[in-house]
Amino acid sequence: MATKKDRQKLVSEKTEAEKNRILKIMRDADLYTLTLDPLIESYLDIYEIYMTMYIQWKEKGFPATQRHTNKAGATNNSKHPLAQQVETWADKKTKALDLLGLTNKSKAGKIVTGGSSVRKDEEMKKPEAKVSELEAHRQKWRNKA
C-alpha cells in the first residue's frame, strides 16, 4: 500500500498529464480559447478528486460491497463508500468534459468553439445598423426643424 505522499504525487502527475492531454485535444480540434480556462481548471479539480478516490479504491482491491453492522446487531452488505464516490465523481467528470465540448454528443447551438472565422489578415467589420421605417420618418422630420 502506498503512503499518502506517494498517492498525492501520483495524483498530481496524472492530473498534469490529463491537463496536457485535454489542452492538446482542444487545440487540435480548434476548441480552445482563454475563456475556457476556468472551466478547464474546474474539470482538473474534479479529475484530481476522482483519481484520489479511484486510487484508494484500487488499493483496497475494488470491493463492491462492505459489511455493516447496524444498531440492532444485524450485519448487512452495503455498497462500498469508495465505489459510490468513484461513481459520483466519474459522472461529474463526464459532465465537465461535456461542457468543454469533448464528448461525442452533438448539441446544436450549445457548442463553445474557439478561434474565429475571420482570417488574421482580415479585419472584422460591424454590420450596418438597420433603420426601421418609423425611425427613418422621425429622422426626416427632426432634421428639417
Residue 123 is assigned to a structural domain of this protein: no
Residue 80 is assigned to a structural domain of this protein: yes
24 pLDDT band (50/70/90 cuts)?
very high
Residue 138 is assigned to a structural domain of this protein: no
> Among residues of the chain, what percentage have pLDDT more than 90?
41
State if pTM tops 0.75.
no
Domain count along the chain: 1
Residue 68 is assigned to a structural domain of this protein: yes
Residue 74 is assigned to a structural domain of this protein: yes
Domain of residue 97, residue span: 4-117
Contact 31, 99 (CB under 8 A): no
Q: Which tens digit of pLDDT belongs to each residue from 51-95?
A: 999 999 999 999 989 898 889 999 999 899 999 999 999 999 999
Task: Identify which of 80, 77, 48, 42 has the alpha carbon closest to the alpha carbon of residue 64.
Answer: 80
Residue 38 is assigned to a structural domain of this protein: yes
Q: Which tens digit of pLDDT belongs to each residue from 101-122?
A: 888 775 555 455 555 555 556 6
DSSP 75: E
Residue 16 is assigned to a structural domain of this protein: yes
Residue 47 is assigned to a structural domain of this protein: yes
Burial call 123-133: b when 16+ CB within 10 Å, e when fewer: eeeeeeeeeee
